Structure 1
Amino acid sequence: MTSAAERPLLFLDVDGPLIPFGSSSDHPRAAAAAAVGAADRGNPLLARLDPGIGARLMALGCRLVWATTWMEEANRTVAPRIGLPRLPVMGWPAADAEEGPRGLHWKTRALVEWAGGRPFVWVDDEIGTMDRLWVTAAHPGPSLLHRVDPARGLEDSDFHTLAGWLDTVTGD
C-alpha cells in the first residue's frame, strides 16, 4: 500500500497527449473554437486542449509533473486551460549531455533520476522499446511507460489503463 506522501509520480508531456496532432475534423472542440475565432495568441492548437482533462488527471491520485519542452510555459498557458494547478517542471539535460543507447529518448534518464526509485507513470507520445528496456534495467521501483497516440491525445482507454496500473501499485 502506498501512502499519500509516496503517491506515484505522473510525468506528463503536452504535445501529443494533451494537444493532439490529428486533423481539426478529429477534434470537435478545435473546430468549434476556430469557428468563433479562438486562435489563442498565435497558437491555434491550444483550442484542442480538453478543459476537463485536468480533473481526470488529478483524479488519478498521482503527483503530476510536467515532462515537456514547454517547461514553465505549461504552467502559464496549459494548466489554467485544463484545470490544473501549478505543477513541478522537469529540468532537462544540457544539449551536450552524455548520449544514451541508440533509440533511448532524451527524457528517459532524467525521468528515472527524478523518480529516485519511486513508482512512476510517464505519459508521452514518443516512448519506444529502448525506453522500456532502459527503465526496466535502471529503475528499481514500479513504472508504467504509457505511449499515447499523438493524433488522438489522451482518451478514455488511456485513463482506464493508467487507473488500472495505479490500482495495482497503490493497492487501492
Structure 2
Amino acid sequence: MTSAAERPLLFLDVDGPLIPFGSSSAHSQPATADVSTPVDQGNPLLTRLDPGIGARLVALGCHLIWASTWMEEANETVAPRIGLPKLPLVEWPDVCAEEGPRGLHWKTRPLVERANGRPFIWVDDEISAMDRQWVAASHSGPSLLHHVDPTKGLQDADFSALAGWLRSLVPR
C-alpha cells in the first residue's frame, strides 16, 4: 500500500463499534482536555469513546471514511475525542433508488458504490449474511464486512482480524 489512492478504504460506523451499548461502567474513559464541543451536552454515551482507538485505526493504514448517520457530527464530536483528524464521510441518499433483497442493509449499496471496485473494509454492528452475499456478487474488488459486537465495541480481536485481512491483500 504505497499511495493514498491505493490504500483500502475503511468505512467506519460510530454507534456500536466506537460507542458500545453495553454497561457504561465497562466503557467509561477519563475525559480528555479541551475536546468538549457544544454537541457533547446531553450525550452521556460519549464517555464510552476510547481516546486511544483513533491511533489504532490510523495504524491500519487505510483511508478512513465515516459511514454513520452522525454525518459531520462525527468529525465535530467523535474525531477529536479519539484522536482522529477530520475524515470524509459517506453522503447517504435520501431514498434508496432500488430496493435490495430482503435483509440488505440500507448502507450496503451506497458503500459499494463509493468503493467503486477498490478494496474496502466496512466496520459496523449491523452487518448481515445478506450484506456479505450482496457485496460478494456486486463488488469487483476485495472486501471485508466486519461485524462488531455492539455491547463491546472494537476490541483487540477486531483489530487483529482487520490487520490480518489487510496483510492478505499484500502480494507475496
TM-score computed with the length of structure 2 as normaliser: 0.91
Pairwise CA distance, 1:24: 1.5
Instruction: Determine if the alignment matches structure 1 residue 50 to structure 2 residue 50.
Output: yes
Cα RMSD (Å) of the superposition? 1.6
CA distance in 2, matches of 1:52, 1:25: 18
- Show structure 2 runs of 5+ residues with no match: none
CA distance in 2, matches of 1:144, 1:70: 22
CA distance in 2, matches of 1:86, 1:103: 32
Pairwise CA distance, 1:41: 0.7
AA matched with 2:43: N
Higher helix share: 1
Match of residue 129 from structure 2: 129
Match of residue 9 from structure 2: 9
Pairwise CA distance, 1:27: 1.8
What is the 5 A alignment of 1:22-61?
22-29=22-29, 40-61=40-61
AA matched with 1:137: A
What is the 5 A alignment of 1:12-161?
12-29=12-29, 40-95=40-95, 97-161=97-161
Pairwise CA distance, 1:81: 0.4
CA distance in 2, matches of 1:27, 1:77: 17
Pairwise CA distance, 1:98: 2.4
Pairwise CA distance, 1:28: 4.1
Aligned residues of 2:112 and 2:135 also touching (Cα < 8 A): yes
| SS of equivalent to 1:10 | strand
| SS of equivalent to 2:65 | strand
| SS of equivalent to 1:164 | helix
Pairwise CA distance, 1:23: 1.2
AA matched with 1:49: L
AA matched with 2:130: M
CA distance in 1, matches of 2:120, 2:169: 10
CA distance in 2, matches of 1:95, 1:117: 23
Percent pairwise identity: 73
Distance 1:50 1:171, change over 3 A: farther
| SS of equivalent to 1:6 | coil
CA distance in 2, matches of 1:100, 1:129: 14
CA distance in 2, matches of 1:28, 1:86: 24
| SS of equivalent to 2:46 | helix
CA distance in 2, matches of 1:124, 1:168: 21
Distance 1:42 1:6, change over 3 A: same
